[in-house]
Structure 1
Amino acid sequence: MNFELSAELCALRDRTRQFIAEQVIPYENDERQSHHGPSEALRRELVAKAQAAGLLTPHASPEMGGLGLSHIAKAVVFEEAGYSWLGPTALNIHAPDEGNIHLMEEVATPAQKERWLRPQVAGQTRSCFAMTEPSPGAGADPSMLTTTAVRDGDDYLINGVKWFITGAEGADYAIIMARMEDGSATMFLSDMDRPEIILERNMDAMDACFTGGHGVLRFDNLRIPATDVLGEVGKGFRYAQVRLAPARLTHCMRWLGQARRAHDAALAYTRRRQAFGKPLAEHEGVGFMLADNDMDLHTARLHIWHTAWLLDQGEKCNFESSRAKVVCSEAQWRVVDRSVQMLGGQGVTGESPVMRIFTDMRAFRIYDGPSEVHRWSMARKLVHMADKAAEGA
């Protein structure tokens, strides 16, 4: 693996960094934000700025209107975008749309791409991904899926309840995972302005960085024509892996930018704040935290870049993306937590951006698979690989 970045990628990185600093961060105190994320009006204003800067939806293919970034290029650009909690929204690389765009590029038919994907890449629409369900339904274990899809002539009737559906309020279309009569799973596409799709409520979550918040959706005899099946019937779990492995990694990329922002704030503060006759940064305990932050940031970046490089070689990276997700979510959380500690009172108030980053980031160790589930999955694969090696010895 060559760690040298091309001149073109360095230029794109610098352009993204400048865009975030000059055109996005000034919006962070905009009143068009709530506990359920940036408003649609604010999102559209930010998207227009990214489009004018030539930075909108850079991960999408050139055919769809994007820049066609490789996974390594995404790692570089997404980190810069993530330096502001509004950056991913501006560039149209926020969750769940970023992962949905990737999945649609890989699986959707040409007609489906024209209907749903192209306007999404242009920043005109948003989407949601409806898989997680209340108990006893699917959560960290997707095989517990309870939402059903029953064939009815040339259509399917979908019934069930989903929750923690990021971006549901205001989304233009949904990708819905449902269980078939034979126990397999299928993904379905649907416009969200259907009377059979009911947004029961938005959940009150710690984070406030996702437009549309996290909704509870109910499907009441939602009729989906066979032409709106995403991919092939019965292959929903397989397509979920197409989406989830890269999406886990892009979460790591964006949150790395936020962790770096928190560290930069702590470093600046400890260099100028005096206590006991010298700057805080010159006290050993604070200096150790700064050093630990740097090590955690670098470790996270190496995991991201290595997994991105493997994805660019065509590897599936289910194991590596799980490993990166655990390492990054925990290392980046430590960085932000230390930064709060170094900032003292400033770290637990809105006087600095770090309090906001802290509350937004905590959920990262849970969504897209809790750390414990990824560790368990990795352990099973490690044992399986060891067993196969022993059999072949």
Structure 2
Amino acid sequence: MSTTAAPASSARQRLARVLLVLAAIVAGLATYGLGNGGTFYFRLAAAPFAPAEHGPYYRESLLHVGLARALGLTGDIDVFRFFVLSFFWLGLARLVVVASRRLSLADLALVVLVATFHPAAMIAHSWTCHPDALTYLLTITLLFARHPLACAGIAALGAWTHLPMWLVLCASAIVLWFAFAEPRARPRALAVLAGLLVGAVTCKLALHLCGIGLAEDRFAAAAAHPLPVLLRYWTDPGWPILYTLSFAHFVWLPSLLLVLRRLAPRAVLGLLITQALALGATFFTEDTTRVFAFLAFGPLIYGLVRALEVPAPHRAYYLRPLVLVGVLVTLAAPKTFAWKGRLHDLDAPRAHLRSLLSPR
């Protein structure tokens, strides 16, 4: 009896995990819609290595457009959008797989709720053609990777998506591994640095060999912003910009830090460093919500998973209800993102998705 019950229970757990991912996909589309911008990436996918003497900075985001080109997904822009968004879905699936090894089903569902209703999910849907969804998948995969060779490969691939953001994400992963006393943290960190170097060099070399000269890369574009302009990006929207960075998940961040303090005193410092890195990098960008969301989300979800895996006698009873409150407030509150100092709603992405679903 016990031998048959165990496989049946395992099958039910696998089914529950699949249903969690499917529910998150449906909830994400229903909540955020499907962005209709970023058409320049779709045009780039038709010829990602076409020579250009003064190419725009986004020409260095080669991985997702190169994959679309290789798979022949350049004929219909909406097919391209769903292809890019599928990397976000794969990121959710990867998160469920790694978290299910550590958490109960109830805690796993809580993590999926956070992932589904975080600004990173909103940006992945509303900025659909951009490389963010792929960056999301690579971030989750890197943070929970164990083998140094895998870490090196992931780090190299990430350099072909959005190099400045990926530098910060790699630094955050290394900080977290040491702060949480992860096994083999040093060889994994060295592997990430090696992979990052290989990825950056090969990406730049590919651009050079194909005759693509960037007029201004992302580093130069960020440095070119005058300080008064950067300040206006933060001050013109007023206090709502703080909400766009992480929605209501700031509600439970203090309790997460308290729980992590019990797990490892350095863990709190590590998580705070990653959030500070995200905020510092975001200050130099035009799309404040987008950049902070994708830089801060990975470390935040990593910290949440580690906190929820604390054994029962040492668990803090207040973390789970506060996380749930944060998700509920996020659901009830307006969802906006800031770009160039102005707040934008999701009317256009929602209308675009409705137009695709309506009978023709």
TM-score by length of 2: 0.28
Larger Rg: 1
Of Structure 1 and Structure 2, the greater strand share is in 1
Of Structure 1 and Structure 2, the greater helix share is in 2
TM-score by length of 1: 0.27
